[in-house]
Amino acid sequence: MDAKLQQEITRNIELALLEDQVDNDITSHACFAPSCTGIAKLILKEDAIIAGLIFLPLICEAVDPKIKVKLHKDEGEIGKKGDLLATAMGPVRSLLALERTAINFIQHATSIATQTNRYVQEVKGKCDILDTRKTLPGHRFLQKYAVRIGGGKNHRLHLGDQILIKDNHLSQLGNETASPIKESFHRARAHAPNKKIQIEVDSLSGLKCALEFKPDAILLDNMSPEEIKKAVELCPEGIYLEASGGINLTTIRSYAETGIHGISIGRLTHSIDAIDMSFKI
């Protein structure tokens, strides 16, 4: 885990533990003495791509440094129903206090990695699977990490990563100039000359106009596979073409076969089915 990811995950953990009031678990405090110890087992209840397990030691350390943790799976490993993912040994009060936080983090990361991998497997190496900024507030580092574990690639982490000229930019510039695309490139290059520029278009005519200004990348929004195939034929080498908009597991193969370089999927992070797992003491 790199330093920046660890910093962000640690911050997320601190907020989660504060939110859950782990020092005020009145049920566990009523039932168990501080000296009572136990062993907790994290068990996978359906097949999945494992992600976020490396966060468990950070969670345990934040709740109670006396807890000893052993991880039984690696990040990105294929887990099977019934697999033992991790064990934690220590005071029962502490184990019960961290249970929900641990499951929430690991389950969420594993669910994203698993869903991402389904898309990656579906395109079979024909193009990149990209995430978006459609992430839970405050959890972008976690979610984008899970996408990478699932075999996907990260799009912009934040607004400062690269220039992305979208429909709202062009619409507003259209109030100021008769050539909003030309003006957007002029202003972008003047403001951030060292940043890559991507522009969003939703038609072949928009693509042709954008190509005049030699962008680094073009986002083809809500265009059909047939239109995208024509766009690929029109586009010179060296410009990264990305497709987006309403693409799902049922339709993605037809888009991947157009020759597109990447497909961005909002569902990787904003609409996922939770992978089932249990924490048993």
Q: Is 45 marked active-site?
A: no
Does one domain contain both 45 and 180? no
98, 134: one domain: no
Supply the range of the domain harboring residue 184.
123-270
Sign of CA dihedral 67, 14, 146, 153: negative
Predicted structure pTM score = 0.95
DSSP annotation of 153 reads B
Would you call 61 a catalytic residue per the annotation?
no
Domain count along the chain = 2
pLDDT, average across residues 129-152:
98
Average the pLDDT over 5-9 and give the result: 96
pLDDT confidence of residue 265: 98
215 plus 111 within the same structural domain: no
CATH code at position 13? 3.90.1170.20
Is 100 assigned a catalytic role? yes
What's the CATH number where 144 sits? Answer: 3.20.20.70
Q: What is the pLDDT of residue 269?
A: 97
**Is 46 marked active-site?**
no
Based on the fold, state whether residues 97 and 178 are members of the same structural domain. Answer: no
State whether 128 and 93 are in the same domain. no
- The two tokens of residue 64 are 């109670």
Task: Give backbone dihedrals phi and psi of 42, rounded to 5 degrees, phi first.
Answer: -95, 120
144, pLDDT greater than 90: yes
Q: What per-residue confidence (pLDDT) applies to 86?
A: 99
pLDDT score recorded for residue 18: 97
Q: Of the candidates 74, 92, 91, which has an alpha carbon nearest to the alpha carbon of residue 83?
A: 74
Catalytic residue (one of 166, 208, 214, 253): 166
- Do 36 and 145 lie in one domain? The reply is no
- Closest Cα to residue 136, out of 270, 13, 9, 19? 270
- Answer yes or no: 83 catalytic: no
Check: CB of residue 36 under 8 Å from CB of residue 72.
Answer: no
Q: Which of 70, 100, 208, 253 is catalytic?
A: 100
pLDDT in tens, 42-51: 999 999 999 9
Q: Report the C-alpha gap between 140 and 132 in whole angstroms.
A: 10
Written as six digits, the tokens of 32 are: 């168990």
Rounded Cα gap, residues 268 and 12, in angstroms: 20
Do 96 and 137 fall into the same domain? no
